[in-house]
Structure 1
Amino acid sequence: MSRLASRLAFVLAIFWMAALGLAHDIGLTGIELQQTPSGTTIRVMTPVSRLVERARLGPKPTPADLDLAVRSRLEVLGEGRPFTFDKGELVVDSGADMLTWTGTTKLPIGVLDVKKKFYPEDEASRTLLTRRVGNELTEERLIGAGTGSQAKAGASNFITEGIEHILSGPDHILFICGLVIIGGRFKKLFELVTGFSIAHTITLMLVQFGWVRPWMRVIEPLIALSIVLLALEAYRRQSKPEATDRSPMAFGLAFGFGLIHGFGFAGGMSAVGLSGFDLFVPVLMFNLGIEMGQLLILALAGGLVALITRFWPRARRWTLTTASIMIGMAGSYWLVERLFQR
């Protein structure tokens, strides 16, 4: 392949990833069935932006539009037969990009079930069904990748969710690639990526126990900004090959990115109806999946840089400098897009 063709393919790949990276959630919707003295309360928790997009509600949906969109998608079986709800109670938190819809029925919780995920047209989406008797959590079930596939929401499910989330997130991938470009031994890079995970766990826990409430309209642009800053650091280090791998800025960016991005993860997981200690094990397992996915990306990207260094040493500096620029372009694209999205 010619050098011009290689550059063109690289640019197209970056902008393809940029187009994929506009939305940033973990693809989970929560449906909760809670037994009450008078029957059962049903709650649906989902990102507002996702519902608006999937239901094609336009730029300014009314509460009535949102209510109808929820009820048209919510398929609850009562004694094996689907039934519909009257208008439910709607709470929209636009800052956190979260919608909670609440409906009631006189049917007991034992005869109610949900078999179909909330966004069946989205192959990657998942729905977490939870059951509560009073305040006690009695069941968690993940309605998954296929429209009808279901599984008990155990540890392995959340590990898989973590792996899939990091591998499907171009902003995650580019950030880790930026750490690889900065250079240094594998041990140093491992420390940086692990620092990301530790920071990410801290903010997940802060949100989990209700000590911090993230505002996603601020968090999302900050994530994009961190990618731009990392790209600038990567470019600076390529322009100064004599620099060592001891980069406080790199570690600070990795740790800071983890703190910021943890808010995004927590918002998505809190949306599925789990909170407090109910969320403790899922958070830990989700983090383990994130770490495993990060190490895979690190191994692949680091291995590619090692191959270039060994077999095409003259191309190493040009390749990594160009990659730094392209990562910065993608981060800038996300930053502008997220600043001006409604």
Structure 2
Amino acid sequence: MIGPTWTVSSRGASVQRDIKDAISWRPSVFKMISYLSGHRRPKWPRLVTCCAVFFLFILLPTLGLAHEVRPAYLELRETTTGEFSVLWKTPARGEMRLALSPEFSAGHKTLTPFVTRRTETAAVQTWNIRTIESLRGQTIGIRGLERTMTDALVRIEFADGNSWVQRLTPSNPVGTVPVEQSTWEVAGQYSKLGVEHILLGIDHLLFVLALLMITRGRMHLVKTITAFTAAHSITLGLATLGFIHVPSQPVEALIALSIVMVAAEIIHTRHGIEGITARAPWIVAFSFGLLHGFGFAGALSEVGLPEGHIPVALLFFNIGVEAGQLLFIAAVMGVIAAFRQVHIQMPQWTQYIPPYTIGSVAMFWVFQRVSAF
């Protein structure tokens, strides 16, 4: 029966039956109106699928890069008063390299000839200079940086143990070396570096996105993110302070493999097969978080820590990483909240697009990083 039944045998019976049928159909009509008008909220997996597709679309241009395209790197180490050994790394692809060069406002003299060698991803030059005046209070810039889409990391290590680190960008290719650096300036620099590292680390972001896709419920989400944070904080501190030494290349490959494993678990869950990752995602987050901490430590080792401010620099780099991670999670949850306001009818097969995309890209990273051993 799809509607009220009309009879002509009795006028009273017809009216009574009509009223009865109208009352019985009222909830169904309201339910259908609510569904068509979008008031019915989509289920959580569908919301996360929409959100994941949205972020994968944004990240797609950089998915094949992860940490492979690194910024230019300039390092000056003061050997004796006024004399520095210079290390200059420029991003390169084969024989092609970016046309970048360092510039110093302080007068200086080159003491040794340039020695150049090449790696798979960079051209590396070393030489020694003597400055006519102190670098403190002077500016250091990267010529040509404004015409690129890359950044340059500058680090100066003075003979007295103090150091200065600054990330230069195409929009701000010049930095000023402070005469004296306070504890709060170190804290600000390293927290900013931490935020930049996590937000530019596409592999770390994909791992967090995969965790969000497989985690259900607010309490499970809090447990999972807390476990991941605690785990990578432990290994970041131990590795940075020299208590544990792990080669960086295997770590980077295993980080990519961890993303593949979580993506596979998402697919199994979509098929109705729930493993330990779906039932207790915080356990997997803690286990793989230890691995990701070594990756953060590798990035921090490239920058180095200032001799007189090691605890502060380490602490605020980690705080920066956490802040960047929370910013990303907040953005994901914000998109989910936006999708709650509209009804999106998606085919069932679309729920497999995000995990298969994440897993495929991560598997590419695995092969790429293993081949670099």
For the Cα contact (< 8 Å) 1:162–1:293, is it kept in 2?
yes
State the match for 2:15 in structure 1: none
Q: 1:253 aligns with which of 284, 300, 322?
A: 284
Q: Which has the higher contact order (CA 8 A, sep 6+)?
A: 1
Q: 1:148 aligns with which of 174, 189, 205?
A: 174
1:164 Cα shift? 2.7
Change (3 A) 1:157 1:326: same
Instruction: Tell me, yes or no, if structure 1 residue 29 matches structure 2 residue 29.
Output: no
Q: State the distance in 1 between where 2:78 and 2:148 align.
A: 26
Superposed CA RMSD = 4.3
**Larger radius of gyration between Structure 1 and Structure 2:** 2
- Taking every aligned residue pair, what percent have the same amino acid on both sides? 24
State the match for 1:328 in structure 2: 359
For the Cα contact (< 8 Å) 1:194–1:291, is it kept in 2?
no
Q: 1:115 aligns with which of 131, 134, 140?
A: 140
Change (3 A) 1:107 1:217: same
1:178 Cα shift? 0.9
Runs of 5+ unmatched residues, structure 2: 1-49, 179-184
Q: State the distance in 2 between where 1:237 and 1:244 align.
A: 10
For the Cα contact (< 8 Å) 2:220–2:282, is it kept in 1?
no
**Paired residue total:** 313
- Listed as ranges, the matches of 1:294-305 within 5 Å are 294-305=325-336
Q: 1:129 aligns with which of 139, 152, 155?
A: 155
Q: Is 103-112 or 216-225 further displaced after alignment?
A: 103-112
Runs of 5+ unmatched residues, structure 1: 1-5, 59-65
One-letter amino acid of the counterpart of residue 287, structure 2: G
Q: State the distance in 1 between where 2:282 and 2:55 align.
A: 27
State the match for 1:286 in structure 2: 317
Instruction: Tell me, yes or no, if structure 1 residue 183 matches structure 2 residue 208.
Output: no
Q: 2:87 aligns with which of 35, 44, 63?
A: 44
Structure 2 counterpart SS, 1:53: strand
1:230 Cα shift? 0.7
Change (3 A) 1:128 1:247: farther
One-letter amino acid of the counterpart of residue 18, structure 1: L
State the match for 2:300 in structure 1: 269
Structure 2 counterpart SS, 1:323: helix
Change (3 A) 1:132 1:270: same
1:224 Cα shift? 0.9
1:281 Cα shift? 1.9
1:308 Cα shift? 5.1
Change (3 A) 1:208 1:108: farther
Structure 2 counterpart SS, 1:20: coil
Structure 2 counterpart SS, 1:115: strand
| TM-score when normalising by structure 1 | 0.71
| TM-score when normalising by structure 2 | 0.66
